[in-house]
Chains A and B, each alone.
Chain A
Amino acid sequence: MLFSNPEKLLEDQKRLSEQNPVVLMGRGHSGTRVLSWICTELGVNLGTSASLATGDADDQKFTQEIKKITTNNIGTEMLRPSDLQRFQKAVSGYYGRLNHPQTLWGWKFPETYLIPSYIAETFPKARYIHLVRDGRDIAFKQHLTDDPKRKLGKKILESQNALGLPHHLQAAVSWAFQVDNFDNFRGSVSGDQVLDVLFEDICTRPYEIVEELCDFLKLSITKRCDSYIKEQINVKKVAQYKENDPRLVQEVENRIRPTLTRYHYLS
C-alpha cells in the first residue's frame, strides 16, 4: 500500500486539491527549458536549480516516480487508482521538499505531458502552460519519447504502430501522439486553466508572449525575466527543419498533417 494510513491519504488529497500549481506541459525539445526559466524569472518556483540547464524539477525522487507512472500509462485512457495514489504521494513529497512554498509553484518535467489527467484529478485548480513546437523541427531531433531503445519511447511507438519506421517519422508520430493526447485532455478542464504557447512565438515575439504569460498568472513582468529574454532567446531556433532533406520533411508532413494543420504549421 502506498499510503499506509487512509486518513493521511484523504488529508493529503484534500490539501493537494486546494493547491493551484503551474505545470509546464510540452514534449521535450519543444523549448520547455526556455519557458521554464522564463517562469522561474517571473517568480514561479518550479523546483529547478541553476545547475540544471534543462529547467526540469531538480528532485529525482519526484521525477523518477513520474517516469514510472508515465510508462505505465501509455495507451490507457482510464486513470489507474494505484498510479493516482503513487502520483499524489510523489507530488506531495515534491511539494514538501520544496518547503511548502507559499508563492507560486509548480514544475516542468516533460514526462508529465503524457499524464495530464493525473494532474487534473489531483489538482482541480492547476494551471497548464501548454507549449508546442513545430513537429517538423522535432522530427529531426532525438528524444527519449521517440527512442525505441528506451522503455517510454518503445511504449509510445508500439502504441502508434511506429516501431518499424525510420527515426524522423518515429519522432514525428511520437510528437503528434503527445500533442493530440493533451488536446483530448484539455476539454476536461476549464479553458482559463490552459495557456497555449507556440515555441516559435517565444522566439520571434518574446515580449508579447511573456505578457500573455503574465496575464495568465496575473503577475507583472520582472526585471530578471526581462534580462533573460534579452540574453537567452534565440530567433535562429525557428524552422530548423529546413536544414534537412526536403523529401524527408515532406514525409513528415504527410504523416502528421492533421496535427500540424491544427496548430497552423501547415495550411
Chain B
Amino acid sequence: MSKVPIRLTIYYDFLSLWCFNTLLRLKQIEQKWKVRMEWKSYMLLPEQKEQAREAFHLASQSWSAIIDEALAGELKPWPLDREVPNWSLPALAASKVAASFGERQFSDFQYSVMKGYFQEHLDISSSVTLVQLAERSGMDRKAFENQMNQPQWQDLVREEHQQAEAAGIHNVPMVVVNDEQALAGALKIEDYEDAFLKVR
C-alpha cells in the first residue's frame, strides 16, 4: 500500500447524527489507509433559532436506529425537559479552539462533543457545556475559555461554511477525497475504502 497519505476534507456539523457515523467509520480505517483528515465546518443551523422540544424529542427517537453498532442501544430520545441546541456555530468554533491546542486535543474534543450531544443530551450550543467538554478532553479550562472569547474562531467557521456553499455543498456529511472525489452522505466503510482504492 502506498505511503502517500490520502487527504480527506470532511464537511460536517456536530448537530448531525450522520456526521457522527462518518466520524466513527473514518476513525476505524484511519490508520489502515494512512488518512489525513481535515474537518471543515458546515452549519446546519447557521443562525440562532429556538427548537421545538416536542418535535426534537420525536425526531430523536430514531437516533438509536441510525447510529453505528459501536453505540447501538446507547442513544435514548432527547428528554423533554432538556435544553435543545439552537445553533451550530458555538460547537464548531470551539472545535477550532481545540485544534489550536493540538491534533489529539481536537480529536478527543470532537468525539466528546458528539457523544455529549447524542448520548448525554448536552446542549452543545452553550459555551459552559463546551468548556466542560474541553476540560474533559484534557485541555486547560482557563486557557480554553480565553480562546473561546476570541472572535477569530467564529469567523473561521463562517468562512468555511461560505466556502462550502460556494462550492455547491449544501448538506453534510460530505467527504472530499484528495480533492478529486466527493462522497455525499454517511457511506459504509467499504464504500469509503472503494473510493480510497480509486485514488491510490
Contact = CB atoms under 8 A, between A and B. Distances in A.
Interface stretch (B15-23, B98-106, B129-137, B141-149): B15-23
Contacts, number: 63
A211 interface: yes
Interface stretch (A98-106, A234-242, A245-253): A98-106
B37 interface: no
A264 interface: no
A124 interface: no
B129 to A, nearest CB: 21
Q: Which 10 A-B pairs have the closest CB atoms?
A: A43-B171, A43-B170, A102-B182, A218-B185, A220-B16, A218-B186, A104-B184, A219-B171, A103-B184, A219-B185
A205 to B, nearest CB: 10
A120 interface: no
Instruction: Classify the secondary structure of B's interface with A.
Output: loop
B187 A220 contact: no
Contacts of B168: 45, 101-103
A224 interface: yes
B13 A218 contact: no
Contacts of A220: 13, 15-19, 44, 171-172
A149 interface: no
Given A42-B171, A102-B181, A219-B185, 13 more contacts: A45-B168, A102-B184, A103-B184, A104-B185, A207-B55, A217-B185, A218-B18, A218-B185, A219-B173, A219-B184, A221-B44, A223-B44, A224-B170
B174 interface: yes
B65 to A, nearest CB: 8
9 contacts: A43-B171, A103-B169, A103-B184, A104-B171, A104-B184, A219-B184, A220-B19, A223-B47, A224-B170
Interface in A23-54: 42-43, 45
Interface string B2-26: 0000000000010111110100000
Interface residues of A, number: 20
Nearest to A212: B62
Interface in B144-167: none
A218 B15 contact: no
Interface in A206-227: 207-208, 211, 214-215, 217-224
A101 B44 CA distance: 21
Interface string B39-82: 00000111101000001001100100010000000000000000
Contacts of B186: 218
Contacts of B170: 42-43, 103, 222, 224
Contacts of B35: none
